Amino acid sequence: MPEPKLSSYFEPEEYRFYSESIPCGIDEAGRGPYAGPLSVALVSFSQNSLTQILKGKILKGLTDSKKLSEKKRESLYPEILKTAQFSYRTFISPNYIDREGINRAVLEGILKCAKLINRSTQSKFPLKLLIDGNYNFNRYPEWADLKGYSTFYTKGDLRIVSIAAASILAKVSRDRYMISVSKKYPIYRFDQHKGYGTKLHEELILLHGLSDIHRRSFTRKFLEQI
């Protein structure tokens, strides 16, 4: 299929892979917060849907989730789910992050997404993972099975359609979770800061201590400075 005439700043990267694989964008949300899970999402669009997106006919305003307002992310979220041929979101717990480290947690999220989509597609084509960032997973034996099917993209959430879509699914899913969990831990006001290390959040940690969903490995440096 020929590449469409672009009406956006996205690179039509997925077209390189359709003939021999299923291109899937992957991104995460929540690498840096003091509390809450890491969220990882995978999105794959059909060739036809990708063409419509690149021509600006559907998913208008799609870009890196960090560039969008909460209202715009929420409006795009159901449209992405409707348009994608495959999508999946998963959380990696604070306990896992503390035990294994954030990079291993990101890899775990990627592995979970890839395994589920592989089982559900039943396609003769392998997945091609288009991953935002520039990770080095070579130290992890589990990476060997995916390494040959993966490509990293610096600022991929600004450049690649499926990665941008994944960034929105990951971000909205995590934000919704933090809003929900704030009902269980109202004293921390997770609905306001989503677990990030804001001044308000740090003040509340000093006042109340750490909750079950705080990342000990992330709050240690802050607490040691007190």
pLDDT attached to residue 2: 54
Per-residue tokens: 146: 């995916």
In this prediction the pTM is: 0.94
pLDDT attached to residue 35: 99
Any idea which architecture 13-179 has in CATH? 2-Layer Sandwich (3.30)
pLDDT attached to residue 3: 52
Please tell me the distance from the alpha carbon of residue 150 to that of residue 212, in angstroms, as a whole number.
Answer: 34
- Residues flagged as binding site: 27-28, 132
Output phi, psi for 126, to 5 deg: -75, 165
Residue at 106: amino acid letter: V
Task: Looking at the chain, list the stretches that DSSP marks H as alpha helix, in order from N- to C-terminal side.
Answer: 47-54, 70-83, 94-100, 102-121, 144-147, 156-159, 161-181, 190-193, 199-208, 216-224
- Residues flagged as binding site for a divalent metal cation: 27-28, 132
pLDDT attached to residue 8: 62
Please tell me the distance from the alpha carbon of residue 61 to that of residue 76, in angstroms, as a whole number.
Answer: 8
Predicted confidence pLDDT, tens digits, the chain (226 residues):
455 554 468 999 999 999 999 999 999 999 999 999 999 999 999 999 999 999 999 999 999 999 999 999 999 999 999 999 999 999 999 999 999 999 999 999 999 999 988 877 766 678 999 999 999 999 999 999 899 999 999 999 999 999 999 999 999 999 999 999 999 999 999 999 999 999 999 999 999 999 999 999 999 988 988 7
Contact 68, 4 (CB under 8 A): no
Please tell me the distance from the alpha carbon of residue 7 to that of residue 212, in angstroms, as a whole number.
Answer: 47
Please tell me the distance from the alpha carbon of residue 193 to that of residue 205, in angstroms, as a whole number.
Answer: 13
pLDDT attached to residue 225: 84
Domain map (residue ranges) of the chain: 13-179
